[in-house]
Structure 1
């Protein structure tokens, strides 16, 4: 059961664009009065411009009583509190009011400075720490918090960050099986990630049929279906000549393997309504691995696999196994990520003049 968006609260707040590139002199005096220098230094250490950084401030005492640095990926339905300074509870109330006014379904909070007690008092629940990954790149704060502003939220899966630029398909399949209880969380590591990628890859990407076949081979008891509204090879637009042809041969072999293993390959486009119905099915543990372009969320048109595992009003909740530290992202941005329905519908159509959608449905029973 879901609940409608709440009526926006009467909590006062102000929104101010944040431009750290202009230097400390450009920051509002009210912010410099309530924020420690080391916090402002960390805020400005990366270019957060792609995520529209803004300050949400709570008035008080003739100026600002509190402020929060807020960002979010484009095309999504959440707001992220990077930090709150000053009267932290007042800052949290202001951001929640702002999120409700913008009809966002979720607010997350990076645990750089906030305590678990303060987050809980503001109505935020702790997120599960991410599973250990196979990359040495910093993953962000050790803790994070979430508050849903619409619906009842969704059950939280484990989060794991892919260790390469090309193993997203394997990681989403493994995360689905962890959530279904087929794979133990502690066994999801770099070896498991790369082993499944090796079985599924079209070098280096994982195309939908090959990924579905690899999942069936690895877990024969799991029901697997592939939805791909073309019979032509996919994810090869950037290649030509022999580099394209030998990968097309492998894709044809994957289709033959699917037929032999009994993996249905539907030559149909999975609609957003059908996707929502699949992951909402009561009493079932169904997941959709969905191919999307990162053009909207990250600014570059690269195909990428995400795991769709829940829904809230107006958005599908996904796990994205990759995040962009260069834009100030952490695992808190990529975990329990609500993507607006219209945005997900658009970003999951890939290709040139002929747009196609690729998806793998896994039913864990």
Structure 2
């Protein structure tokens, strides 16, 4: 068989009648870098094709749909996908052809539960090829809920080593609760269970934590640390804040509303008072990316304030949670799933970000500031495999 890789979405005509998701091939926005890999016998018709996408600046490729005329053709296509990812990882200088296309550290297969292309034989092939069927996420956004038409199963393959840690994936269910979900994920991972598998009280947990930490509507780093500390009484898990400014933050939208601005300045001053009473360390300095990586390697979970512009073309402040390192990539859980642009929890539960990308996005404001919240693991035992 011969293979062909091309940017953009190109469902071969000879396979169109086999696709139950033909519309998805026309729906991936250009910003998410759609691409098509097809396989055929010599110059004959295409036997299989895969539509892929990924966020710019992130080191993964996600298979959105596969159309194949047989299990044999499917197996050949998966092999070629692995070869393409491995070749890119072996030949890239760490930034890919452009800075927006880093070398891939992760290959994902997203399978829509309501229109699955994975027969039992194909699932067996994925297992034999080294893919792992990811455990279900915490019910939250549509793609995580088993009873929703948008629900997906996810299979992952890391060309090098896999993460040794994970956090229960929960997608934020409002536009403003990214900080709350980030902190709750860290708390859950370090021993203060917050989310439940049946999802019955998860939304209430998300909203309650946001109400404790918010400055209406944003969650600043000190407020997150205070709310997290109040969630448990373990001194070994006292969070700490590294913030490059000693001024109030995330108040840019209130610059021309002095009354609203003053209220939020007062709220942040009160948070500092409570942080002092709770013994939460606050350091005012610009933390570099190597130090963030070292904190994660040491077993901490690190909430990072970022600018979403580079990742999803949305100029908004946002919180993500770094929880492991694979190679040089920081593996993060991003609570925001941009479903309108084709994303599901597959894109966000284990998002690998190269150091240059983290440095690019981990800043906000004018003048820029950087903020992280470090959530210690409290001495919980775990061991790295690398």
TM-score range, shorter chain: 0.7 to 0.9
Preserved CA contact (<8 Å) 2:139 2:170 = yes
2:129 — aligned with what? 122
Q: TM-score, normalised by structure 1?
A: 0.88
1:133 — aligned with what? 140
2:80 — aligned with what? 94
The secondary structure found in structure 2 opposite 1:90 is: helix
Q: Does 1:166 align with 2:147?
A: no
Preserved CA contact (<8 Å) 1:53 1:70 = yes
Query: 1:42 offset after TM fit, Å?
Result: 3.2
1:34 — aligned with what? 15
Unaligned runs of 5+ in 2: 90-103, 379-386
Paired with 2:161 and 2:193, the residues of 1 have a C-alpha distance of 29
Map Cα deviations across residues 49-91 of structure 1 (whole Å, 9 max, x no partner).
2201110123424243321101000110000011222211111
Q: Does 1:303 align with 2:317?
A: yes
Instruction: Output aligned runs, 1:191-270, within 5 Å.
Output: 191-221=204-234, 222-240=237-255, 241-270=258-287
Paired with 1:214 and 1:50, the residues of 2 have a C-alpha distance of 36
Map Cα deviations across residues 79-106 of structure 1 (whole Å, 9 max, x no partner).
0011222211111112212212222111
Paired with 1:193 and 1:141, the residues of 2 have a C-alpha distance of 21
1:294 — aligned with what? 308
Query: 1:43 offset after TM fit, Å?
Result: 2.8
Q: TM-score, normalised by structure 2?
A: 0.83
Paired with 2:211 and 2:149, the residues of 1 have a C-alpha distance of 25
Paired with 2:7 and 2:297, the residues of 1 have a C-alpha distance of 37
Paired with 2:277 and 2:316, the residues of 1 have a C-alpha distance of 31
2:98 — aligned with what? none
How many residue pairs are counted as aligned between the two chains? 341
The secondary structure found in structure 1 opposite 2:375 is: strand
Paired with 1:238 and 1:231, the residues of 2 have a C-alpha distance of 19
Q: Does 1:69 align with 2:51?
A: yes
Preserved CA contact (<8 Å) 2:142 2:151 = no
Paired with 1:122 and 1:311, the residues of 2 have a C-alpha distance of 23
Worse-matched range after superposition: 152-161 or 198-207: 152-161
Query: 1:303 offset after TM fit, Å?
Result: 0.6
Larger RCO, structure (CA 8 Å, separation 6 or more): 1
Paired with 1:43 and 1:117, the residues of 2 have a C-alpha distance of 26
Preserved CA contact (<8 Å) 1:309 1:317 = yes
